[in-house]
Structure 1
Amino acid sequence: MPLEQVSQNASFGGQLTKYKTTSQSLGGLETQFNVFLPAEAAKGPVPVLYYLAGLTCTEDTGAQKGGFLRDAAAEGIALVFPDTSPRGAGVEGEDKDWDFGTGAGFYINSTADKYSKHYNMYDFVVRELPSLLSELPINTARASIMGHSMGGHGALTLYLRTLGDKKYASASAFAPISNPVKAPWGEKAFGGYLAGGVEEGKEYDATELIKKAKGDPKILIDVGTGDQFYQQKQLLPENFIEAAKTAGFSESQVQVNLHDKYDHSYWFISTFGPAHVKFHANILKSEPKL
């Protein structure tokens, strides 16, 4: 479907533009996403870094609060911020809880009958969104992905599920839900969205996926130990670290940093965001072909 421009703002020599379109992956619902193009895009297609936001967030959250645009402009890469779930599906109960339904798509393809028509954020981000970007000066073959919390879970799982296809050159995450099949948020989401429940949810669990990953992963993760959700065992980065070590991956391939005092907020994200953008930019610029 064609893109319709909603708004546009100049920023750091480039442009942040919001688009809306009708999504096939989301069952014909309208969805919106933001795209930041650096000045270099005027000369030709640039690499792209996708950002997946967390629970209750929208396509605006990362674009407005993450502090990523300055660093992306300096590196000459595009940023793309999709929404976190379908909107207006009309599924009974989808607006009942803040951590399930609207604003909480978990970047999976639903198989439970109630949600399978609309709740397919995995297909939207991996397959449909790159095709929508084809009319823009973006080289979607040179792409990386990052995210926060639920979006960190999404970034890691989308990356690991497509590692063999080299869909993304690298992945990073801020406070990701690293082992959702063992966390209350994941148990609730997978139990509702997936016909096979938590067992099927292993297909969307970064800790489970890293155990059987092949190749040379490039992953960066930052977590604050002052994060209430870390303390409540929602994030479980230690499980991911142990699984990566057991699978034989080095710290240069899978780097997980724990930071004292930092919490779950965008103050935390904006502190380490520049390092994440730099991490991806260096890989995107060095990859001869993805």
Structure 2
Amino acid sequence: MELISATKSFGGWLKRYKHRSEALHCEMIFAIYLPPAAEEKSVPLLWWLSGLTCTDENFMQKAGAQRIAAELGIAIVCPDTSPRGTDLPGEHDRYDFGSGAGFYINATESPWNRHYHMYDYVTGELPALLEAHFPLNGKAAISGHSMGGHGALICALKNPGRYTSVSAFAPICNPSQCPWGESAFSGYLGKDQTNWREWDACELVKSRGSNLALMVDQGDADNFYQDGQLRPEALQAACKEAEVPLTLRMQPGYDHSYFFIASFIDDHLRYHAHHLRSA
């Protein structure tokens, strides 16, 4: 593991590392914010999964999360959003498939199935690496935005007991029923839509329920929401059917940008801090 950069922020350190991923068969970069408390003791961890076209840097630079994370004593890790440097045919042709668009699933279709195992990376390989190298106390929460909100939801739903809490900003709630998801799932998982259900939060809620309450913020001026890409109402209906608690907050006037995330990230950090303390 190679340290790329270290930047002091609110008494803690924002660090970027490069490492060889065996799950993805390529070099990967992740960012981690360690609060001041991490210099004296082990701290809990919030996973942040970013959206389409993002890298490990977007959230750390734009969300304004470090101040509250420092106050609360929470570390934050931001993985990248797809394998990098693989240069598969057509991998860089679209913003919603291939590079920057791993969807946090395990691809089964060639040629994507050699590298595109982002689910294994964020739930298996990277957690083990972090545990071995950083002062973390084993307690973790998870959140994300858009494609990363979808990733946060499915990671929590597929791993009961792994996370103390889960939240999402404008998540792709029902990818098997929206253009982004239909396109990505067809490419990564094949045409048989029964194979898509294990990677769709709405289907997972209906088939498995949830040991966690779900928290979602959605801006009503979000053009992707208005175009039917996000479908929070489908998640709301699935949670009602499965009797899973869901807090869906429609935020008037907010769009899909990081201005939206920065406006409400404090709420989410305090929400997760409460559950991390109680675990």
Aligned to 2:272: 280
CA distance in 1, matches of 2:253, 2:208: 32
CA distance in 2, matches of 1:243, 1:145: 20
Aligned to 1:223, which of 210, 218, 225?
A: 218
2:189 corresponds to 1:194: yes
Aligned to 2:162: 167
Residue pairs, 1:106-121, within 5 angstroms: 106-121=103-118
Instruction: State the Cα deviation string for residues 231-278 of structure 1 (Å, max 9, x = none).
Output: 0000000000011011112xxx32111112110000000011100011
Query: What SS does structure 1 have at the residue aligned with 2:106?
Result: coil
**What is the one-letter code of the residue matched to 1:129?**
L
Aligned to 1:267: 259
- 1:216 Cα deviation (Å)? 3.0
Q: Does the CA-based 8 Å contact 2:140-2:164 persist in structure 1?
A: yes
Residue pairs, 1:1-290, within 5 angstroms: 3-27=1-25, 29-133=26-130, 134-139=132-137, 141-163=138-160, 166-195=161-190, 197-214=192-209, 216-249=211-244, 253-287=245-279
Which 4+ residue blocks in structure 1 deviate beyond 6 angstroms?
A: none
Q: What TM-score comes out, normalization by structure 1 length?
A: 0.94
**What is the one-letter code of the residue matched to 1:91?**
L
Q: Does the CA-based 8 Å contact 1:169-1:218 persist in structure 2?
A: no
CA distance in 2, matches of 1:209, 1:257: 21
Query: What SS does structure 1 have at the residue aligned with 2:164?
Result: coil
Q: Provide structure 1 residue ranges, at least 5 long, that are not aligned to the other structure.
A: none
CA distance in 2, matches of 1:68, 1:21: 25
Q: Provide structure 2 residue ranges, at least 5 long, that are not aligned to the other structure.
A: none
Q: Does the CA-based 8 Å contact 1:54-1:152 persist in structure 2?
A: yes
- 1:71 Cα deviation (Å)? 1.0
Identical-residue share of aligned pairs (%): 47
Q: What TM-score comes out, normalization by structure 2 length?
A: 0.97
- 1:213 Cα deviation (Å)? 2.8
CA distance in 2, matches of 1:110, 1:154: 14
